[in-house]
């Protein structure tokens, strides 16, 4: 039984702050509270993998002050959530480029990944300085240098190029908050057959009820992966804080947000 992989584009922090006459940084801080809620809810629902889009490669175009505030917020989150993740059995990892991150943030990433490496209740992946196009391009370059291979080998190169050292299933459900309807260069390869759910509320207002509704929508959809005929139904119910197991009908080996 393959664990459910939910990916979330956490969009709308800046607009949430602007509507309240607050600086954008205030929206990012409030968005951090939503991250903690989502992680706790995902662990309760027995979701296997939760990938959060925190900072895209294109977000470097933003004002320097906002970038500094975001990077500082990421570092604080990694430092302060280690104990909580360990107690909850959450494994934390960061995907994306690391060479452009400040040294102190890189050290925080390494420490968080090391301290939580034994977690089995939930694999929390945070995408920082991430671009799906760049990741695919780098994996293709490696394939050319190292010789021909299989689709599975390409997927492994794709993961390793983003700092991933374990097999991660393809995305089953991709949620975007904030009202926009686009993928913004996020997990394009891994989301080839993902079910998409767009939610109009900004990320700071994303609640357990919104998460539960997205899971319920996913459970009502029939996933045929290009085939014709009846596929095994997804048995997933998110109600009252209790989630059920997931049965997939897919092929074996599932092969710039406004933060």
Full DSSP string of 136-149: HHHHHHHHHHH---
- Provide the pLDDT for residue 252: 34
Give the C-alpha separation, 107 to 113, whole Å: 10
Q: What is the pLDDT of residue 255?
A: 35
Residues 6+ apart with CB under 8 A from 79: 108, 111, 112
Burial letters 91-130, b for 16+ CB under 10 A, else e:
bbbbbbbeeebeeebeebbeebbebbeebebbbbbbbbbb
pLDDT of residue 210: 98
Task: Please report, to the nearest 10 degrees, the dihedral formed by the alpha carbons of residues 142, 110, 257, 162 taken in order.
Answer: 10
* pLDDT at position 244: 45
Q: Is the dihedral of CA 98, 99, 102, 103 positive or negative?
A: positive
Known catalytic residue at 13: no
Q: For 50-67, what is each residue's pLDDT tens digit?
A: 999 999 999 999 999 999
Question: Structure pTM?
Answer: 0.85
Q: Considering 13, 59, 185, 258, which one is annotated as catalytic?
A: 59
Q: Phi and psi dihedrals of 194, rounded to 5?
A: -70, 145
* Res 161: pLDDT: 66
Residues (pLDDT < 70) of the chain are 1-2, 148, 161-166, 229-259
**3-class DSSP state for residue 87?**
helix
pLDDT at 236: 57
pLDDT at 240: 45
Q: How high is the pLDDT of residue 241?
A: 43
Handedness of CA 123, 127, 128, 131 (dihedral sign): positive
- Identified catalytic residue from 11, 129, 185, 258: 11
């Amino acid at each position: 039984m393959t664990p459910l992989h939910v990916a979330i584009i956490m969009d709308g922090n800046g607009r949430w702050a602007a509507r309240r006459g607050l600086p954008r940084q205030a929206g990012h801080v409030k968005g951090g509270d939503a991250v903690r809620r989502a992680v706790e809810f995902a662990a309760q629902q027995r979701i296997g993998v939760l990938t959060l889009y925190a900072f895209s490669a294109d977000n470097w175009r933003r004002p320097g002050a906002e970038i500094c505030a975001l990077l500082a917020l990421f570092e604080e989150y990694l430092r302060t959530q280690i104990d909580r993740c360990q107690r909850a059995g959450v494994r934390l990892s960061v995907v994306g480029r690391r060479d452009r991150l400040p040294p102190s943030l890189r050290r925080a990433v390494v420490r968080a990944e090391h301290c939580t490496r034994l977690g089995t209740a939930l694999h929390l992946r945070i995408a920082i300085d991430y671009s799906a196009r760049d990741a695919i391009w780098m994996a293709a370059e490696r394939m050319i240098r190292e010789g021909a291979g299989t689709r599975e080998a390409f997927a492994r190169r794709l993961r390793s190029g983003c700092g991933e050292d374990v097999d991660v299933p393809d995305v089953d459900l991709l949620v975007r908050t904030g009202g926009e309807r686009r993928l913004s260069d996020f997990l394009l390869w891994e989301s080839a057959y993902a079910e998409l759910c767009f939610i109009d509320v900004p990320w700071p207002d994303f609640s357990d009820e919104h998460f539960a509704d997205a899971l319920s929508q996913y459970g009502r959809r029939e996933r045929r992966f290009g085939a014709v005929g009846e596929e095994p139904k997804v048995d997933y119910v998110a109600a009252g804080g209790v989630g059920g197991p997931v049965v997939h009908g897919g092929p074996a080996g599932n092969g710039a947000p406004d933060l």
